[in-house]
């Protein structure tokens, strides 16, 4: 009994450590389970956010595994536990899979059903499972939602907080406060109104959404079921604005 209590206390201490501070470029975001985020450059001047969640003691899932990440950054999460799942949230967020698989060869790879064919073709030597199989391992305070209304795959990670839920959205929802990349990309961002706070990504809607009305209903329902109080977007800055839910709801109504 004493040994079990001792190990339990060790796990609690590790969880507390994983929840706090910055390490190797990772930033911790407050939630019921440890959540880390890392901003990486996937093309010259263009950035995205990698997110890691500890869904069980010492077991981590990493969404949008980042490219060009240093050994210091990879070692930081290795010290925090075991990376057991690498998740490509859609068919486009996969650029770091090769380096992460090399660093964590025992991790299984997951993707939404809509992205499986494309990613299995791109990585023929890699076994890629549907996210539904990973969902079975998640505790009640962690959820992975895959919308059927995107031909690229559309995955949202939700983690319970003391008040509300933290959302990590893939390309569908942005929170960008400045333009990025070369001039043509900046021009496109302006045309699509991608910069200026929390908003649904118009470019994603145009190219990947298959049923706007159904997706709108789904997102509005999720806002009721999982009230958002923090956002880690695939692109942009972490948001914890008290008006976050209202801003996101307004953009859903406007864009979808």
Res. 2: pLDDT tops 50: no
Do the bridges between strand 142-146 and strand 155-160 make them parallel or antiparallel, or are there none, so unpaired? antiparallel
- Of 124, 71, 81, residue with least CA distance to 106: 81
Least confident of 53-67, 86-100, 175-189, 214-228: 175-189
List the domains of the chain with CATH numbers.
Answer: 17-255 (3.60.15.10)
Give the confidence band of 10 by pLDDT, cuts at 50, 70, 90. very low
Q: In this model, does residue 220 exceed pLDDT 60? A: yes
Asked whether the predicted pLDDT for residue 8 surpasses 50, the reply is no
Burial (0-12, 13-18, 19+ Cβ within 10 Å), 250: middle
pLDDT value at 228 more than 60: yes
- The predicted-structure confidence for 151-177, as pLDDT tens digits, reads as follows 999 999 999 999 999 999 999 999 988
User: What is the residue-wise DSSP string for 48-99?
Assistant: EEEEEEEEETTEEEEESPPSS--HHHHHHHHHH-EEEEEE-SSSS--TTHHH
Label residue 217 by pLDDT band (50, 70, 90): very high
Per cent of the chain over pLDDT 90 is: 78
Does 116 have pLDDT greater than 90? yes
Q: In the prediction, which pLDDT does 230 show?
A: 98
What is the average pLDDT value for the chain, to the nearest integer?
90
Percent of the chain with pLDDT over 70: 91
Whether 60 and 37 have beta carbons less than 8 Å apart is answered as no
pTM of the model: 0.90
């Amino acid at each position: 009994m004493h040994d079990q209590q001792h190990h339990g206390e060790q796990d609690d201490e590790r969880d507390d450590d994983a929840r706090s501070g910055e390490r190797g470029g990772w930033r911790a975001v407050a939630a019921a389970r440890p959540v880390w985020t890392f901003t990486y450059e996937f093309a010259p001047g263009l950035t995205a956010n990698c997110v890691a969640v500890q869904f069980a003691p010492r077991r981590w899932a990493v969404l949008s595994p980042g490219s060009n990440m240093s050994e210091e950054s990879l070692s930081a999460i290795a010290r925090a536990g075991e990376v057991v799942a690498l998740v490509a949230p859609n068919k486009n967020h996969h650029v770091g899979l090769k380096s992460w698989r090399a660093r964590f060869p025992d991790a299984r790879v997951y993707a939404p059903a809509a992205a499986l064919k494309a990613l299995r073709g791109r990585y023929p030597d890699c076994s890629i499972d549907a996210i539904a199989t990973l969902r079975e391992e998640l505790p009640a305070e962690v959820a992975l939602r895959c919308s059927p209304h995107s031909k690229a795959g559309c995955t949202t990670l939700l983690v319970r907080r003391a008040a509300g839920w933290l959302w990590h959205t893939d390309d569908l929802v942005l929170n960008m406060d400045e333009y990025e990349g070369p001039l043509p990309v900046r021009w496109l961002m302006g045309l699509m109104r991608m910069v200026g706070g929390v908003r649904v990504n118009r470019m994603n809607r145009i190219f990947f959404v298959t049923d706007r009305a159904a997706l709108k209903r789904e997102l509005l329902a999720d806002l009721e079921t999982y009230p958002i109080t923090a956002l880690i977007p695939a692109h942009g800055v972490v948001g914890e604005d008290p008006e976050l839910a209202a801003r996101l709801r307004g953009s859903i109504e406007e864009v979808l």
